[in-house]
């Protein structure tokens, strides 16, 4: 969904690496920069959802005047956009989902936000659901340590959001909340795999005095992997118990936050001197 915004909101997003305050504090929001027919760029905060396949989806719900959002009108003629998530900035191609894939994504979003269902009921046209297909990009941050800190903080925020969403879910876990959990598992697992294959070997080569620290970090990666596998198992059951799931996420959060704190303490002082 589009968000009524002004330049101050865009600047707040960028200054705080995607973290907004007030009523947007617990929302998943990105900045979408589209191009109008005259070639001018327009940046709009847009709510997004994850689809479990590593993709970000946006929904072109009507603006306050009941019209399609301006950014959607732009991408009808120019589908290439720039996306800012706070952690990453990347060019992307917008692709409209169709048929069952579009309906499944919309139903998940409407289950979590009933305003979408109400809006769809008032119009004969299907509200567009679009996937943002990345065309490159890299983590934000000017240095290795800054980029890593931004990514770590994004994981911290996502864990906080998941705990809050699960606690508020009631006796039944919604489909989108399941996907949010599975997306966190996939993202964190991939992040640790990349560290094991790139960053930690570079530290070992340049700073053998940190061997105990890198050994501990690898062991913690394995411990987190087991917790992620258990979380995936619980979420994938037919009727997961939110109480059990919340306990699993709280246990994962404690393990991950301690791990991230230790990694930053041990490696950030030397990280920017390394050659990847």
Q: Do residues 68 and 140 lie in contact, with contact meaning Cβ atoms separated by under 8 Å?
A: no
> Helices 114-121 and 99-112, interaxial angle, to 10°?
120
Q: Do residues 57 and 48 lie in contact, with contact meaning Cβ atoms separated by under 8 Å?
A: yes
Helix (H) or strand (E) holding 129: strand 129-134
Start-to-end C-alpha separation, the chain: 39
Residue 4 CB burial class (10 angstroms; 0-12, 13-18, ≥19): exposed
Alpha-carbon distance of 161 to 164, in angstroms, equals 5
Show pLDDT as tens, one digit a residue, over the chain (276 residues): 656 657 889 999 999 999 898 889 999 999 999 999 999 999 999 999 999 888 999 999 886 656 789 999 999 999 999 999 999 999 999 999 999 999 999 999 998 888 898 888 888 889 999 999 999 888 898 899 999 999 999 999 999 999 999 999 888 889 999 999 999 999 999 999 999 999 999 999 999 999 999 999 999 999 999 999 999 999 999 889 999 999 999 999 999 999 999 999 999 999 998 865
What SS3 string covers 17-43? CCCCCHHHCCCCEEEEEEECCCCCEEE
Helix (H) or strand (E) holding 165: helix 144-167
- Can you say whether the dihedral through the CA atoms of 181, 152, 85, 165 is positive or negative? positive
Q: Among 11, 274, 5, which Cα is nearest to 143's?
A: 274
Alpha-carbon distance of 104 to 100, in angstroms, equals 6
Dihedral (C-alpha) 181, 254, 221, 237: value to the nearest 10 degrees?
A: -30
Q: Which string of DSSP letters, residue by residue, matches 242-273?
A: HHHHHHHHHHHHHHHHHHHHHHHHHHHHHHTT
Cα distances (Å, whole numbers) of residue 231 to 16, 141, 206, 235: 30, 31, 36, 6
Q: Residue 126 contacts by C-beta under 8 Å, 6 or more apart in sequence?
A: 102, 106, 120
Which DSSP symbol is given to 83? E
Bridge partners (DSSP) of residue 129 are 59
Q: Residue 268 contacts by C-beta under 8 Å, 6 or more apart in sequence?
A: 145, 148, 149
pTM of the model as a whole: 0.91
For the chain, list the domains and their CATH numbers.
Answer: 7-138 (2.30.110.10), 141-271 (1.20.120)
């Amino acid at each position: 969904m589009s968000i009524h915004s002004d330049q101050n909101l865009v600047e707040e997003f960028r200054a705080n690496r995607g973290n907004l305050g007030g009523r947007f504090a617990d929302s998943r929001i990105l900045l979408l920069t589209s191009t109008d027919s005259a070639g001018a760029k327009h940046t709009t905060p847009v709510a997004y959802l994850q689809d479990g396949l590593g993709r970000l989806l946006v929904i072109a719900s009507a603006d306050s005047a009941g019209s399609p959002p301006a950014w959607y009108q732009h991408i009808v003629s120019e589908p290439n956009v720039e996306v800012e998530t706070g952690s990453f900035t990347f060019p992307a191609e917008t692709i409209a989902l169709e048929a069952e894939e579009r309906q499944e994504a919309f139903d998940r979003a409407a289950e979590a936000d009933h305003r979408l269902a109400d809006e769809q009921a008032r119009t004969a046209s299907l509200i567009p659901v679009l996937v943002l297909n990345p065309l490159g990009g890299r983590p934000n941050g000017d240095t290795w340590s800054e980029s890593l800190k931004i990514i770590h903080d994004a994981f911290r925020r996502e864990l906080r959001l998941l705990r809050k969403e699960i606690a508020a879910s009631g006796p039944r876990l919604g489909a989108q909340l399941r996907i949010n959990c599975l997306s966190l598992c996939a993202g964190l697992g991939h992040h640790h795999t990349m560290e094991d294959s790139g960053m930690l070997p570079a530290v070992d080569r340049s700073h053998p005095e940190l061997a105990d620290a890198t050994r501990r970090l690898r062991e913690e990666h394995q411990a987190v992997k087991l917790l992620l596998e258990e979380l995936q198992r619980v979420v994938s059951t037919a009727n997961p118990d939110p109480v059990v799931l919340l306990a699993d996420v709280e246990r994962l959060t404690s393990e991950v936050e301690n791990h991230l704190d230790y990694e930053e303490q041990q490696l950030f002082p030397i990280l920017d001197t390394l050659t990847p």
